[in-house]
Amino acid sequence: MAIFFHEEDLPEGVLADGPVAVDTETMGLHTLRDRLCLLQISDGNGDEHLVRFNPGSEYDAPNLKQVLADPARVKLYHFARFDLAAIEYYLGVMAQPVFCTKIASRLIRTYTDRHGLKELVRELLGQDISKQQQSSDWGGPELSEAQRDYAASDVRYLHRLKAELELRLEREGRKELAQACFDFLPHRARLDIAGWPETDIFAHA
Protein backbone atom coordinates (compact mmCIF):
# COMPACT_ATOMS: atom_id res chain seq x y z
CA MET A 1 0.00 0.00 0.00
CA ALA A 2 1.38 3.40 -0.96
CA ILE A 3 0.23 7.02 -1.13
CA PHE A 4 1.24 8.89 -4.28
CA PHE A 5 1.21 12.69 -4.42
CA HIS A 6 0.74 14.62 -7.68
CA GLU A 7 0.50 18.28 -8.63
CA GLU A 8 -2.39 19.53 -10.80
CA ASP A 9 -3.18 16.24 -12.58
CA LEU A 10 -3.18 12.46 -12.29
CA PRO A 11 -0.47 10.66 -14.27
CA GLU A 12 -1.81 8.64 -17.16
CA GLY A 13 -2.41 4.93 -16.66
CA VAL A 14 -1.90 4.70 -12.88
CA LEU A 15 -5.39 3.32 -12.19
CA ALA A 16 -6.73 -0.11 -13.01
CA ASP A 17 -10.06 -0.47 -14.80
CA GLY A 18 -13.27 -0.53 -12.78
CA PRO A 19 -14.79 1.54 -9.98
CA VAL A 20 -12.76 4.29 -8.36
CA ALA A 21 -13.11 5.76 -4.89
CA VAL A 22 -13.11 9.57 -4.90
CA ASP A 23 -12.99 12.26 -2.23
CA THR A 24 -12.17 15.97 -2.09
CA GLU A 25 -10.65 18.42 0.36
CA THR A 26 -11.60 22.09 0.09
CA MET A 27 -10.99 25.29 2.01
CA GLY A 28 -14.44 25.05 3.59
CA LEU A 29 -17.98 23.86 3.10
CA HIS A 30 -19.21 26.54 0.67
CA THR A 31 -18.45 25.26 -2.81
CA LEU A 32 -18.59 28.59 -4.63
CA ARG A 33 -16.38 30.30 -2.03
CA ASP A 34 -14.01 27.61 -0.80
CA ARG A 35 -11.72 26.33 -3.52
CA LEU A 36 -10.94 22.71 -4.28
CA CYS A 37 -7.46 21.96 -2.88
CA LEU A 38 -7.07 18.20 -3.15
CA LEU A 39 -8.73 15.26 -4.87
CA GLN A 40 -8.07 11.72 -3.67
CA ILE A 41 -8.66 8.71 -5.90
CA SER A 42 -8.08 4.96 -5.61
CA ASP A 43 -8.87 1.91 -7.74
CA GLY A 44 -9.17 -0.24 -4.62
CA ASN A 45 -6.00 -2.24 -5.19
CA GLY A 46 -4.08 -0.79 -2.27
CA ASP A 47 -2.68 2.52 -3.49
CA GLU A 48 -4.14 6.01 -3.12
CA HIS A 49 -3.38 8.96 -5.38
CA LEU A 50 -3.63 12.55 -4.13
CA VAL A 51 -3.89 15.35 -6.70
CA ARG A 52 -3.23 18.83 -5.32
CA PHE A 53 -4.46 22.05 -6.91
CA ASN A 54 -2.56 25.19 -5.97
CA PRO A 55 -3.97 28.70 -5.46
CA GLY A 56 -4.83 30.18 -8.83
CA SER A 57 -5.05 26.76 -10.45
CA GLU A 58 -6.85 26.58 -13.78
CA TYR A 59 -7.88 23.00 -12.91
CA ASP A 60 -6.66 21.81 -16.28
CA ALA A 61 -6.28 18.13 -15.41
CA PRO A 62 -7.06 16.13 -18.56
CA ASN A 63 -6.05 12.71 -17.23
CA LEU A 64 -8.04 13.12 -14.04
CA LYS A 65 -11.05 14.52 -15.88
CA GLN A 66 -11.02 11.59 -18.29
CA VAL A 67 -11.28 9.14 -15.40
CA LEU A 68 -13.96 11.15 -13.59
CA ALA A 69 -16.08 11.61 -16.72
CA ASP A 70 -15.86 7.95 -17.79
CA PRO A 71 -19.45 6.62 -17.80
CA ALA A 72 -18.15 3.05 -17.53
CA ARG A 73 -16.50 3.71 -14.15
CA VAL A 74 -18.64 3.86 -11.01
CA LYS A 75 -17.36 6.52 -8.61
CA LEU A 76 -17.55 5.64 -4.92
CA TYR A 77 -18.01 8.45 -2.41
CA HIS A 78 -18.89 9.05 1.19
CA PHE A 79 -21.30 12.01 1.02
CA ALA A 80 -21.23 12.25 -2.75
CA ARG A 81 -23.41 15.35 -2.84
CA PHE A 82 -20.58 17.60 -1.65
CA ASP A 83 -17.84 16.03 -3.76
CA LEU A 84 -19.91 16.04 -6.94
CA ALA A 85 -20.61 19.77 -6.55
CA ALA A 86 -16.95 20.61 -5.89
CA ILE A 87 -15.73 18.52 -8.83
CA GLU A 88 -18.24 19.97 -11.28
CA TYR A 89 -17.74 23.57 -10.17
CA TYR A 90 -13.93 23.49 -10.28
CA LEU A 91 -13.09 20.75 -12.77
CA GLY A 92 -16.13 21.09 -15.02
CA VAL A 93 -16.96 17.37 -14.84
CA MET A 94 -19.96 15.59 -13.36
CA ALA A 95 -18.21 12.54 -11.90
CA GLN A 96 -20.88 9.89 -12.29
CA PRO A 97 -22.24 7.16 -12.12
CA VAL A 98 -22.32 7.24 -8.34
CA PHE A 99 -22.35 4.97 -5.30
CA CYS A 100 -22.59 6.88 -2.01
CA THR A 101 -21.76 4.97 1.15
CA LYS A 102 -23.45 7.56 3.39
CA ILE A 103 -26.78 7.24 1.56
CA ALA A 104 -26.50 3.44 1.55
CA SER A 105 -25.80 3.54 5.28
CA ARG A 106 -28.83 5.73 5.95
CA LEU A 107 -31.04 3.33 4.01
CA ILE A 108 -29.98 0.14 5.77
CA ARG A 109 -28.44 1.14 9.12
CA THR A 110 -31.72 2.53 10.42
CA TYR A 111 -30.83 1.34 13.94
CA THR A 112 -28.41 4.27 14.34
CA ASP A 113 -28.01 7.94 13.49
CA ARG A 114 -24.24 7.61 13.14
CA HIS A 115 -23.38 7.45 9.44
CA GLY A 116 -19.92 9.01 9.34
CA LEU A 117 -17.10 7.23 7.54
CA LYS A 118 -15.25 6.50 10.79
CA GLU A 119 -18.29 4.74 12.25
CA LEU A 120 -18.95 2.78 9.05
CA VAL A 121 -15.38 1.54 8.79
CA ARG A 122 -15.38 0.50 12.44
CA GLU A 123 -18.68 -1.40 12.32
CA LEU A 124 -18.52 -2.98 8.87
CA LEU A 125 -14.78 -3.53 8.47
CA GLY A 126 -13.55 -3.71 12.06
CA GLN A 127 -10.90 -1.02 11.59
CA ASP A 128 -10.36 2.39 13.11
CA ILE A 129 -9.47 5.56 11.22
CA SER A 130 -8.47 8.97 12.55
CA LYS A 131 -10.45 12.09 11.62
CA GLN A 132 -8.05 14.45 13.42
CA GLN A 133 -6.98 16.26 10.25
CA GLN A 134 -10.51 16.76 8.91
CA SER A 135 -10.62 20.50 9.61
CA SER A 136 -6.99 21.34 8.82
CA ASP A 137 -5.73 23.89 6.28
CA TRP A 138 -5.75 22.10 2.93
CA GLY A 139 -4.60 25.17 1.01
CA GLY A 140 -1.19 25.57 2.59
CA PRO A 141 2.08 25.32 0.63
CA GLU A 142 2.91 21.93 2.18
CA LEU A 143 0.71 19.06 3.28
CA SER A 144 1.94 17.17 6.32
CA GLU A 145 2.27 13.40 6.40
CA ALA A 146 -0.70 13.33 8.77
CA GLN A 147 -2.80 15.28 6.27
CA ARG A 148 -1.77 13.01 3.41
CA ASP A 149 -2.56 9.87 5.38
CA TYR A 150 -5.93 11.28 6.46
CA ALA A 151 -6.81 12.21 2.88
CA ALA A 152 -5.80 8.78 1.61
CA SER A 153 -7.84 7.04 4.31
CA ASP A 154 -10.98 8.73 3.00
CA VAL A 155 -10.80 6.61 -0.18
CA ARG A 156 -8.92 3.57 1.19
CA TYR A 157 -11.96 1.69 2.43
CA LEU A 158 -14.74 2.67 0.02
CA HIS A 159 -14.51 -0.37 -2.27
CA ARG A 160 -14.83 -2.74 0.69
CA LEU A 161 -17.63 -0.67 2.21
CA LYS A 162 -19.53 -0.76 -1.07
CA ALA A 163 -19.40 -4.57 -1.12
CA GLU A 164 -20.69 -4.82 2.46
CA LEU A 165 -23.40 -2.21 1.97
CA GLU A 166 -24.62 -3.79 -1.26
CA LEU A 167 -25.18 -7.07 0.56
CA ARG A 168 -27.33 -5.32 3.15
CA LEU A 169 -29.25 -3.30 0.57
CA GLU A 170 -30.05 -6.54 -1.24
CA ARG A 171 -31.02 -8.27 2.00
CA GLU A 172 -33.42 -5.47 3.01
CA GLY A 173 -34.91 -5.04 -0.46
CA ARG A 174 -33.65 -1.47 -0.85
CA LYS A 175 -31.17 -1.82 -3.70
CA GLU A 176 -33.41 -0.18 -6.31
CA LEU A 177 -34.30 2.65 -3.93
CA ALA A 178 -30.61 3.26 -3.27
CA GLN A 179 -29.85 3.32 -6.98
CA ALA A 180 -32.61 5.88 -7.56
CA CYS A 181 -31.04 8.07 -4.88
CA PHE A 182 -27.59 7.69 -6.44
CA ASP A 183 -28.97 8.62 -9.86
CA PHE A 184 -30.49 11.81 -8.44
CA LEU A 185 -27.31 12.98 -6.71
CA PRO A 186 -25.85 14.87 -9.71
CA HIS A 187 -29.07 16.90 -9.86
CA ARG A 188 -28.91 17.53 -6.09
CA ALA A 189 -25.33 18.76 -6.48
CA ARG A 190 -26.34 21.11 -9.29
CA LEU A 191 -29.15 22.49 -7.12
CA ASP A 192 -26.54 23.23 -4.44
CA ILE A 193 -24.37 25.09 -6.94
CA ALA A 194 -27.38 26.97 -8.34
CA GLY A 195 -28.38 28.35 -4.94
CA TRP A 196 -30.70 25.83 -3.27
CA PRO A 197 -28.34 24.10 -0.79
CA GLU A 198 -30.67 24.18 2.21
CA THR A 199 -34.07 24.31 0.52
CA ASP A 200 -36.23 21.21 0.20
CA ILE A 201 -37.86 21.97 -3.13
CA PHE A 202 -40.16 18.98 -2.68
CA ALA A 203 -41.65 20.32 0.56
CA HIS A 204 -45.22 21.64 0.66
CA ALA A 205 -44.27 24.84 2.46
Alpha-carbon gap, residue 6 to 39, rounded angstroms: 10
Rounded mean pLDDT, 9-25: 97
Which of these, 117, 122, 111, lies nearest to 82 by C-alpha position? Answer: 117
The residue extents of the domains of the chain are: 2-194
pLDDT digits (tens, 9 = 90+) for 59-74: 999 999 999 999 999 9
Looking at the structure, give the CATH architecture of the domain made up of residues 2-194: 2-Layer Sandwich (3.30)
Coil, strand or helix at 120: helix
At residue 133, the pLDDT reads 64
**Could you tell me which residues come within 8 angstroms of residue 185 by beta carbon, excluding any fewer than 6 positions away?**
80, 81, 84, 96, 98, 100, 103
- Per residue in 178-188, is it b (16+ CB within 10 Å) or e — as a string? beebbeebbeb
Rounded mean pLDDT, 163-186: 98
Coil, strand or helix at 45: coil
- The answer to whether the pTM exceeds 0.75 is yes
